Structure 1
Amino acid sequence: MQQEWLAERFEHERRHLFGVAYRMLGSTTEAEDAVQEAWLRLTRSEADEIDNLGGWLTTVVARVSLNMLRTRKSRGEVSLEAGPFEAGLPAPTVVLDDTGEHDPVERAVLADSVSIALLVVLDQLSPDERLAFVLHDLFAVPFDEIAAMLDRSSDSTRQLASRARRRVHGRAPSDGMSAQREVVDAFFAAARDGDLARLVGALHPDVVLRADSGAGVTTYRGAETVAGNATRYAHPERVTRPALVNGLAGVVVTVRGKLASVMGFTVVEGRITEIEAYAAPDRIAAVAAGLGLESAHS
């Protein structure tokens, strides 16, 4: 009976715990491992003596994620920014946006999505900075509790979060969804017309395009380079449909009715600053299945 009660309480917290772990680790597999470790630790604990189960589980997941992140850093594993890298971009969350309306389940998915742009910035932080920023700024955990996890003073922990906040500031999208969509639509209209000047105008001078073909990630930098790459989307067989990709404006691209690729855009002050292009066969097959479409790679 106690085990059933614990399992129910844990399932109630699972979504939140996964959100903490994913923002710490940027990997769905590692995040799921961290959540599973929290469950194992809960089953070995004196659960009836835990006053705040949600807080206790959050602390456990945060500590597990921090240890995993420190181990990753000590091994010198490649960050998102260093690409190309073997694992590819994190799997995208994609919801078709033909009508602009979403049911409650879809809205919940979007609320939990994380833009690749944010993950890239978070990956540049030290493990301690990342923990302080994620827990305090994204999940409102008090600094005193975070300080205990890091074995630091509250003031020191505040400084960690402040440094992290300065690095994140300016990288998150500042435009509303309708404004994002307008810029993305203008980007594809210019691509179809082969108008390089308009394409460049839609892009930030330091725009970054990350293209995941399944054999690693190729990174393109600069407005002119990205604009030149974008003209290939002008092919008449390539049809773009509006979508929300990782909670931001994006498109799914079909060829003869089959899903060929997915693109997500980060728009800041009316210009595209980041583009993620997904064409890896396994990623596209998974997205196609979720959208009820056929994959061009099947």
Structure 2
Amino acid sequence: MAKWCFGIDLGGTTVKCALFQTDGTVEEKWEIVTRTENNGEAILPDIAATILAKIEEKKIDKAEVAGVGIGVPGPVEETGEIPCAVNLHWGRKNIEKELGDLTGLAVKAGNDANVAALGEMWKGGGQGAKNLILVTLGTGVGGGIIVNEKIVTGAHGAGGEIGHAFVNPAETKACNCGNKGCLEQYASATGIARLAKEALESETEDSVLRTVKNISAKSVFDAYKEGDVLAGKIVDKFAAYLGNALAVFACVSDPDVFVIGGGVSKAGQVLIDAVEKYYKAHAFTASKETPIKLATLGNDAGIYGAAKLILSKDN
């Protein structure tokens, strides 16, 4: 009977690692540096070494380890292969087989945003749900979709790439993905800063934002909380894009709950209230009352989700 598992969240700078009991209790968390030089050839051996060292340190019988779950920044195919992971300088790689061979343990890999969604469903803002959409508002907009407790990956591993949903046909500037009018261009931290700069140029109101040297999503929401009228217009525009997009997503997967995470979500309940107004105005009748909640696991969502990934044998 398995008593332990490992959750690994592989990022471009650091690898977050955790040893879990199979009930979801964290035994220990730690980080190692992601060594991306030489096409990232040291990354998986480093992860294997830290896992095996932890097993030895804790005097754990390998037979009692369910395996290793790992979230990676890029699409993951059903075979356990990744076509590429740009930030890691990897080309095509079968991460499950390679890490499995290095550790002698079962390995299950998933896209990092999808894995974070699984974590929030298991032990975070969506706890108790079986159907969930996670939206992460950071430098970009990421997402993960869970249906009947299973991650939606799709034919190309691109399920849940909600940041690149097309929301504005009038857009003339390109998104990082190459398309124009993606949700990420308006709902990310950089997108909100862009909306603010445009508003400062086109609107005439006095605003505390006119005194801010480097406009950020945080400065916009801070001003909004103080009743700044121009900040209110910016937040309303952001909320319209995101709330309307969530209404579309609800028609596709009908979640029990939306969970909003990422750095922008630190604005708190005022962000949820602004988005909810537009969501409720446009959602299909059956989904109008679907709650929108804040993520609660923060940077730990990935390790929790990775652990759940290996524990969900049907996933």
Question: TM-score, normalized by length of structure 2?
Answer: 0.27
TM-score relative to the length of structure 1: 0.28
